[in-house]
Amino acid sequence: MFKHRFFLPGLVVVIGIALSVLIVTGKPRPAPVPQEAPPPPAVEVIVAQPSDVTLTATSQGTVRPRREINIVSQADGIVVAVDQHFADGGFFDADTALVQLEDADYRLELIRAEAQVADAAQLVAQEKGRARQAAREWRDLGNSEANELFLRKPQLAGAEAALAAARANVEQAKLDLARTAISVPFNGRVREKMVDVGQYVTRGTSVARVYDTDVAEVRLPLTDRQVALLDLPLNFRAGDSAPEAAAVLLTARFADREWQWPGRVVRTEGSIDVDSRVIYAVVEVDKPFEPASNSDRPPLSIGLFVEAEIQGRQLSQVVTLPRNALRNDGTVLLVDEEDRLATRPVRVLKSARRQVWVQGLTRNDSVVVSQPAVAVEGMAVTVRHVDGLLGSLGN
C-alpha cells in the first residue's frame, strides 16, 4: 500500500518530462528564406541643355547727387534779397542769384578804381610827351648816345605800370561787385539754407548747401561673382575708347506703388572695399526730377533706396538647373550610362531662390535634381527623368 502511494506520482512526473522533451525535439525547424537585395534608390534627373544666355546682376543702393556743395560767400555785406526759390527743397536754374548782398560799397570802390585809371592814363600821356620832347632836345645837341634817364624812359615805364595796376584794380572792383550776387553754375536744389534777408555775412560764410539736379547717382556693391557677369569700365583711361555703358533698371517703392527708372553704369570706384571685399559700380540717371512722358512717376528723390538690375554680357555653355541640384561643395551629381552616380564640379554663375546658372556641363548630361539620403560615387540608382521646370518648382 505504501509503495503504490509513491509510485504513481513519480510515474506522472517521468511521463511529463518525456512528453516535454518529445515536444521540444520533435518541433519542425523553419526552412531558411534567401534575402533579396534592396532595390537601388530612385533619383530624379534632368538632361542638361547648354545655351548662350545673358544674365543680370542684382544689387541695392541709395540715390545720391552727383555733385553737392556748400555755397560760400566771397564778399562781406548784409543780405538784402534772396531768390523766391531760395528755401529748403527749392529748385533753381544755373547762374540764378540766390542771395544778393548790399553792393553800395563795392560800386563806390569801382568808381574810385576807374578814377585811378583816368589819372594813370593822363600821367602816361604826359610822360610820352616829355619823352618825345627830350628826344628832340638830345638830337639837337648832335650826340648819338642818349641817356635813358634824360629820355625819360624809366618815368614812362613807371607811368605805364601804374596804369596797368589801376586797370587791375578796376577788374578787381568789378569782380568784388559781381560776387555780391551769389549763384552756382548748375541747375540744382537747396538742401539747406543758412542765411536770410537782413543777416550780415563775411567772406567764407556758408550761405546754403545745394546739389545738382541734372544727374543722380547710385552706388551699387558687387561681389566677385557678379562682376564676372558684367562688362564694367574697369580699365578705362583717358584717351581710350569709352566702353559701352551697361544698362541698369532701378526699382523703388514710393507712395505704396512700385516705380522704375532707367540708368547706366558709368564707372567703378577706385578701390575694393577692404571690409566687405566688394567693388562698387556707380550708376547715373539723367534728369531724375523731370516727369516721365505719359506717366505720373514721381522723381527719383535723393535718399531713395532702390533695387538695381544690371544687364550682363552674353555667356556661352550655360545650363539652368533647379536650386536643389547644386550641392554645398559646388558640385552636382550625374548619372552615367550604367545608372551609377558620379560627381562633377561646376562654375556657379548666378544663384537664385529656385534656380542656378552654371558652366561645366556638357549636352545630354543627366543631372540629379533630388538628392538621395546617401550618395556615394559609383552607387547604382534608379533613374526617373523629369522636366527641368518641374524639378525647379520642386525645390
Q: Say what the pLDDT of residue 391 is.
A: 43
Question: Same domain, yes or no, for 114 and 49?
Answer: no
Question: Same domain, yes or no, for 153 and 267?
Answer: no
The set of cell numbers assigned to 288 is 531724375
Residue 25 lies in a domain: no
- Residue 66: pLDDT band by 50, 70, 90 thresholds? very high
Render pLDDT for 175-190 as a digit per residue (tens, 0 to 9).
999 999 999 999 999 9
- The residue-averaged pLDDT of 330-344 equals 90
Share of the chain above pLDDT 70, in %: 83
Residue 14 lies in a domain: no
- Residue 199: pLDDT band by 50, 70, 90 thresholds? very high
Residue 144 has pLDDT above 80, yes or no: no
The set of cell numbers assigned to 368 is 540629379
Question: Same domain, yes or no, for 280 and 150?
Answer: no
- The residue-averaged pLDDT of 244-249 equals 87
| Surface-to-core class of residue 58, CB atoms within 10 Å of its CB (0-12 exposed, 13-18 middle, 19+ buried) | middle
Cα 52 to the chain's mean position, in Å?
A: 27
Q: Say what the pLDDT of residue 115 is.
A: 95
Q: Say what the pLDDT of residue 359 is.
A: 93
CB-based contact 306:249 (threshold 8 Å): no
Residue 284's nearest CA partner among 263, 268, 311, 307 is: 263
Question: Same domain, yes or no, for 239 and 128?
Answer: no
Share of the chain above pLDDT 90, in %: 54
Q: Say what the pLDDT of residue 103 is.
A: 95
Residue 42 has pLDDT above 90, yes or no: no
Question: Same domain, yes or no, for 326 and 373?
Answer: yes
CATH code, domain with 326: 2.40.420.20
Q: How many domains does the chain have?
A: 4
User: What predicted TM-score, i.e. pTM, was given to this entire model?
Assistant: 0.74
- The residue-averaged pLDDT of 330-355 equals 90
Residue 216 has pLDDT above 70, yes or no: yes
Give me the domain span that covers residue 85: 70-94+183-212
Q: Say what the pLDDT of residue 7 is.
A: 57
CATH code, domain with 268: 2.40.30.170
User: In the chain, how long is the greatest CA-to-CA distance?
Assistant: 200
DSSP string, 5-34: HHHHHHHHHHHHHHHHHHHHHTSPPPPP-P
Q: Say what the pLDDT of residue 151 is.
A: 67
Residues 6 or more apart whose CB falls under 8 angstroms from that of 15 comprise none
Question: Same domain, yes or no, for 389 and 337?
Answer: yes
Residue 52's nearest CA partner among 282, 313, 295 is: 313
Residue 344's nearest CA partner among 357, 354, 356, 329 is: 329
Question: Same domain, yes or no, for 325 and 257?
Answer: no
The set of cell numbers assigned to 264 is 547706366
| Minimum mean pLDDT range among 191-195, 292-296, 302-306 | 292-296
Q: Say what the pLDDT of residue 242 is.
A: 53
Q: What average pLDDT does the structure give for the chain?
A: 86
